[in-house]
């Protein structure tokens, strides 16, 4: 088992997580002086860690013939035999992403399309929730974060999302947008904060449960 130690001054306690991209076990401590405690905590959680590592989902390469999810729907990947960009279309059997390029170039083109889809959908839902709350516009950015689906910085009015949420059903993506927009009102996760989320999307618990159950599969796409 590979254990990576990390210091996060914002952390309130020592925690353990599995890095979705590398498969490493990460022990997070609020300061350097707590690192020995983080190591001890990781050792005490050896069985839990072993179970999580065993349950990790195998990578899903973005290559011709692969089926991935987009907005919760299965989408086939097909090669065009050209150098053209990836395009989303639909035929009699369902949605298809057709792309040029070979090998890694094919994968990069498909990922670029997925990121464009993510930006469009997340920007639209973010704007919708901003208007509902009477909030001013924010700057939306798309990244490939390893441990968080989104983050909000109220002081400079920026929201950052993982593009992988576009693989999830639209209602889950909408919940994520609401989750981050609500942080413009309350920066914490207090009852008042969750009240704002409920105002935007209703009962948020099914969406959070979906992400817990399917998050690893989303992070496996393109690995």
Q: What is the pLDDT of residue 190?
A: 94
User: How far lies 101's CA from each of 86, 89, 131, in Å?
Assistant: 9, 17, 41
Structural contact between residues 214 and 168, judged by C-beta atoms closer than 8 angstroms: yes
pLDDT 10s digits, 50-63:
777 766 666 788 99
CA distance 41 to 26: 11
Residue intervals in the chain for CATH 3.30.2010.10: 67-220
Residue 162 has pLDDT above 90, yes or no: yes
Contact by Cβ (8 Å): 14, 28: yes
Angle (nearest 5°) at CA 167 between 164 and 170? 115
Superfamily assignment of 67-220 in CATH? Answer: Metalloproteases ("zincins"), catalytic domain (3.30.2010.10)
Lowest mean pLDDT among 12-21, 75-84, 95-104, 124-133: 12-21
State how far the Cα of 87 lies from the Cα of 63, in Å rounded to an integer. 14
pLDDT at position 106 over 90: yes
How would you classify the pairing of strands 139-143 and 87-91? unpaired
Binned at pLDDT 50, 70 and 90, residue 223 comes out as confident
| Residue 131, number of CB atoms within 10 A of its CB | 11
* Ramachandran bin of 151, using left for φ above 0, alpha for ψ from -120 to 50, beta for the remaining angles: beta
- Dist CA 131 CA 70 (whole Å): 26
Helix, strand, or coil (residue 168): coil
Q: What is the pLDDT of residues 197-222, one digit of tens each?
A: 999 999 999 999 999 888 888 988 88
Percent of the chain with pLDDT over 70: 96
Mean pLDDT of the chain: 91
């Amino acid at each position: 088992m590979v254990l990576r130690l990390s210091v996060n001054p914002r952390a309130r306690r020592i925690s353990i997580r599995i890095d979705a991209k590398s498969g490493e076990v990460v022990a997070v401590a609020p300061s350097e002086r707590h690192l020995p405690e983080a190591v001890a905590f990781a050792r005490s959680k050896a069985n839990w860690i072993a179970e999580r590592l065993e349950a990790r989902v195998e990578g899903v390469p973005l290559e011709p013939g692969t089926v991935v999810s987009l907005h919760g729907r299965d989408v086939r990947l097909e090669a065009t035999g050209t150098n053209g960009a990836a395009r989303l279309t639909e035929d009699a059997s369902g949605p298809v992403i057709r792309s040029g390029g070979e090998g890694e170039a094919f994968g990069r083109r498909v990922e670029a399309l997925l990121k464009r889809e993510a930006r469009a959908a997340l920007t639209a839902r973010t704007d919708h929730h901003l208007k509902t709350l009477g909030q001013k516009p924010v700057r939306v950015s798309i990244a490939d974060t390893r441990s968080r689906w989104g983050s909000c910085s109220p002081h400079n009015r920026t929201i950052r999302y993982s593009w992988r949420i576009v693989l999830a059903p639209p209602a889950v993506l909408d919940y994520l947008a609401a989750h981050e927009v609500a942080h413009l009102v309350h920066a914490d996760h207090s009852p008042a904060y969750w009240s704002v989320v409920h105002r935007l999307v209703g009962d948020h618990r099914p969406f959070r449960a979906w992400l817990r159950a399917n998050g690893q599969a989303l992070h496996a796409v393109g690995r």
